[in-house]
């Protein structure tokens, strides 16, 4: 059964068609990779799924119902969380507060409760903080709760983004180049983390340029070029697909 | 906890002292400082916490003051009872005017809010609906009556105004340490990331305007009661600029910053009266120097401190 199903998705910016007639499925409980050369339209696809852009045409079904036209925060509440290609943390807030941002939609206190710190507010706040700390620990940032996001190393900032996304309790986690800027060791740890997230029952869709990572973790790969899907299949099928090889020709990829 | 209680107790005692030895003139200066402190605290929610530039805050202040003046002089409703009504009208006004402009960014929003401030001031001068008294304003507003105690002299107003400051400081401090307060900060830091983390950014932007405006409306009520006469002159663009200057100078997002800012921006020109015509020059120069050497304000907001549970405690799932 597919958790996310994108069909005939099209989006243009002026004269440029960034995504053209794209159709693919993300099966529930799988790790799917979206790859392609720079400018192929991968991030646009993510922005369409998360509601930052509105598609010109096409349908996006999540968990059985359409999410086209919903505001981003509503889509998050439905169960799609994401990280960004360029890190977008709340830089001058602490790591804990960044994770609490993701946990926001799991909390309920309104203005009055917030002004008066009612008993319910305090219970919810304590529970929210405890949960957020667990997520920090889960991604390997234990003991860093009080540090400001901007003082964390690049790799740690990427992990913090993952923790913030997980705190929204998603069904689908969308990772936009999670290994960008990471060294070999950090990437290996990330692979373990991605697998472990999937083992918790969260489906994963990721964009990544590090081909060794994609081939190691993804069960299914969708290849895009110039906004079009040129191939789809398991890692071995993709490696031997002539179209894919051609698309990547001239760039050095050691897969 | 014990130490904090002592500090706050000391501050309250200190705040209760001035009427014992200051003359009415200086008490009145302190009253102005208190009024601007609360206005700055309310604007701080919008500018400091949510990061939305609002240079028309005087409009909300005016709506509150005129609500109190009109309802008091026409229907004889006691001024202090009108507090919640003033909060409501100012908040509702903010909801109506901010709704269509809330998606504007930075400088664009700033210009539109200046426009809103001017529209309100000019509407008041033009005696809109025949109830604002035109450029003469409204006079004869009754003195506030607190359970039989009529508040009349600057010394008496001092307690009313600084009690309002105290309540505001406590409530806004609690607000800072809450889901609501954090949500405003996420907007300020990066509103795309905030929306992407599941925060309804349009809702919180609007909420910051409405809460800030409602508070300014309550200050308007107190101001009307204190002056017994209000006119459009009291709600000019300059008032909005003063409030904005207090927020920036004191330190965006910081409650002690707002109090210190109000003391400096409102109090210093009084102290510099000896310089006669040069006093605004001295004041202006001081502000320029400040902004060059301490861009984050005098008392910048400090990161929130959370009491973290010991390992193993808590019931979160992860």
Q: What percent of chain A has pLDDT over 70?
A: 97
Q: Is B193 on the interface with A (CB under 8 A)?
A: yes
Is B248 contained in some domain?
no
Q: Give yes or no for residue B315 having a pLDDT over 60.
A: no
Per-residue model confidence (pLDDT) at position A250? 52
Please report the pLDDT score of residue A200 as a whole number. 94
Cα(B262)–Cα(B139) distance, integer angstroms: 27
Please give the pLDDT value at position A249. Answer: 60
Res A59 pLDDT > 90: yes
| Band of pLDDT at residue A251, cut at 50, 70 and 90 | low
Domain hosting B31: range is: 23-235
CA atoms within 13 A on the CB side of A119: 0
Residue B313 pLDDT level (bands cut at 50, 70, 90): very low
* Position B87 pLDDT exceeds 70: yes
Tell me how far apart the alpha carbons of residues B144 and A203 are, in angstroms, rounded to a whole number: 63
CB proximity under 8 Å: A 163-182 to B: 164-165, 168
Structure tokens at A248: 């990547």
Interface check B103 vs A, CB under 8 A: no
Residue B182, chain A, CB below 8 Å: the answer is: yes
The per-residue pLDDT for range A86-115, each reduced to its tens digit, is 999 999 999 999 999 999 999 999 999 999
**pLDDT per residue over B215-229, tens digit each?**
999 999 999 999 999
Question: DSSP letters of B226-293?
Answer: HHSEE-GGGGSHHHHHHHHHHHHHH-TT-HHHHHHHHIIIIIHHHHGGGGGGGHHHHHHHHHHHHHHH
- pLDDT at residue B317 greater than cutoff 50: no
Inform me whether the C-beta atom of residue A102 falls under 8 Å from chain B C-beta atoms. Answer: yes
User: What rounded mean pLDDT belongs to chain B?
Assistant: 89
Q: What is the mean pLDDT of chain A?
A: 92
d(CA A201, CA A220): 17
The 10s digit of each residue's pLDDT in A166-215 is: 999 999 999 999 998 888 899 999 999 999 999 999 999 999 988 889 99
Best mutation target, A133, A138, A142, to test chain B (most B CBs within 10 A): A133
Interface ipTM: 0.90
> Using an 8 Å Cβ cutoff, are A10 and A22 in contact?
yes
Taking the CA of residue A190 and the nearest CA in chain B, the distance in Å comes to 17
Distance CA B232, CA B57 (A): 14
Mind listing the pLDDT tens digit for each residue in B128-142? 888 888 889 999 998
Q: Which fold has domain A2-79+170-248?
A: Rossmann fold (3.40.50)
Judge contact between B44 and B53, C-beta under 8 A.
no
CA A181 and chain centroid, separation: 16
Average pLDDT over residues B38-65: 96
Gap between the Cα atoms of A122 and B306, Å rounded: 12
- Asked whether residue B110 is domain-assigned, the answer is yes
Which pLDDT does position B278 carry in this prediction? 74
What the block records as the tokens of B56 is 């028309």
Chain centre to alpha carbon of residue B125: 23
Residues of A in contact with B179 (CB under 8 A): 100, 104, 107, 109, 114, 121, 124-125, 128
pLDDT at A84 over 50: yes
Does the residue B52 lie in any domain? yes
Q: Between helices B24-44 and B237-250, what is the axis angle to 10°? A: 80
Q: Which residues of A125-143 are buried (b: 16+ CB within 10 A; e: fewer)?
A: bbbbbbbbbbbbbbbbbee
Instruction: Determine contact: A132 vs chain B, CB below 8 A.
Output: yes
Number of domains, chain B: 1
Give the CA count within 13 Å in the CB-facing half-sphere of B251: 14
For B157, how many CA atoms within 13 A lie in the half-sphere containing its CB? 26
Output the pLDDT for position B66.
Answer: 96
Contacts of A137 in chain B (CB under 8 A): 318
Q: Is the pLDDT of residue A225 over 50?
A: yes
Alpha-carbon distance A117 to B179, whole Å?
Answer: 10
The pTM score is: 0.90
pLDDT at B203 exceeding the cut of 80: yes
Residue whose pair of structure tokens reads 């609360």 in the numeric block: B38
Q: Alpha helix locations (H) across A36-183?
A: 42-49, 72-78, 95-103, 111-116, 119-138, 154-166
């Amino acid at each position: 059964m597919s958790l996310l199903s994108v069909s005939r998705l099209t989006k243009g910016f002026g004269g440029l068609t960034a995504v053209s007639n794209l159709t693919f499925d993300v099966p529930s409980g799988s790790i799917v990779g979206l790859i392609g050369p720079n400018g192929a339209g991968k991030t646009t696809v993510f922005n369409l799924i998360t509601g930052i852009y509105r598609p010109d045409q096409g349908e996006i079904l999540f968990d059985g119902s359409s999410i086209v036209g919903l505001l981003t925060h509503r889509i998050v509440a439905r169960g799609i969380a994401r990280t960004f290609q360029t890190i977008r943390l709340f830089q001058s807030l602490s790591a804990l507060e960044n994770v609490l941002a993701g946990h926001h939609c799991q909390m309920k206190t309104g203005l009055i409760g917030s002004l008066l710190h009612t008993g319910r507010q305090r219970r919810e706040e304590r529970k929210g903080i405890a949960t957020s700390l667990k997520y920090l620990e889960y991604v390997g940032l234990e003991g860093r709760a009080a540090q400001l996001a901007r003082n964390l190393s690049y790799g740690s900032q990427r992990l913090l983004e993952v923790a913030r996304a997980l705190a929204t309790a998603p069904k689908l986690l969308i990772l936009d180049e999670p290994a960008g800027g990471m060294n070999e060791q950090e990437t290996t740890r990330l692979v373990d983390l991605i697998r472990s997230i999937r083992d918790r029952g969260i489906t994963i869709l990721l964009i990544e340029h590090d081909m060794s990572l994609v081939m190691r973790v993804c069960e299914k790969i969708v290849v895009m070029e110039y906004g079009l899907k040129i191939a789809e299949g398991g890692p071995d099928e993709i490696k031997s697909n002539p179209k894919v090889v051609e698309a990547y020709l001239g760039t050095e990829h050691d897969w | 906890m014990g130490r904090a209680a002592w500090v706050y107790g000391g501050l309250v005692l200190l705040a209760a002292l001035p009427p014992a030895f200051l003359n009415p003139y200086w008490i009145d200066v302190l009253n102005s400082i208190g009024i601007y402190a609360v206005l700055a605290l309310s604007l701080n929610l919008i500018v400091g916490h949510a990061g939305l530039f609002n240079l028309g805050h005087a409009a909300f202040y005016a709506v509150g003051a005129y609500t109190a003046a009109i309802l008091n002089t026409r229907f004889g409703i006691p001024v202090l009872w009108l507090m919640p009504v003033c909060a409501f009208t100012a908040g509702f006004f903010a909801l109506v005017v901010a709704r269509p402009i809330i998606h504007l960014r930075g400088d664009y929003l700033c210009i539109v809010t200046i426009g809103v401030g001017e529209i309100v001031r000019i509407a008041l001068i033009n005696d809109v609906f025949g109830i604002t008294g035109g450029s003469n304003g409204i006079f004869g507003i009754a003195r506030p009556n607190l359970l039989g105690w009529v508040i009349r002299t600057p010394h008496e107003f001092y307690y009313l105004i600084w009690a309002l400051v105290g309540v505001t400081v406590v409530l806004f401090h609690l607000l800072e340490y809450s889901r609501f307060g954090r949500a405003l900060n996420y907007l300020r830091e990066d509103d795309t990331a905030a929306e992407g983390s599941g925060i309804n950014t349009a809702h919180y932007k609007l909420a910051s305007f409405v809460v800030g405006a409602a508070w300014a409306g309550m200050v308007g009520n107190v101001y009307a009661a204190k002056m017994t006469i209000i006119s459009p002159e009291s709600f000019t663009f300059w008032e909005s600029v003063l409030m904005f200057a207090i927020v920036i100078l004191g330190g965006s997002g910081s409650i002690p910053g707002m109090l210190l800012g109000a003391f400096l921006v409102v109090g210093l020109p009084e102290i510099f009266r000896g310089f006669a015509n040069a006093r605004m020059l001295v004041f202006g120069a001081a502000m320029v120097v400040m902004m060059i050497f301490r861009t984050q304000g005098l008392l910048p907001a400090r990161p929130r401190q959370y009491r973290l549970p010991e390992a193993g405690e808590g019931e979160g799932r992860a």
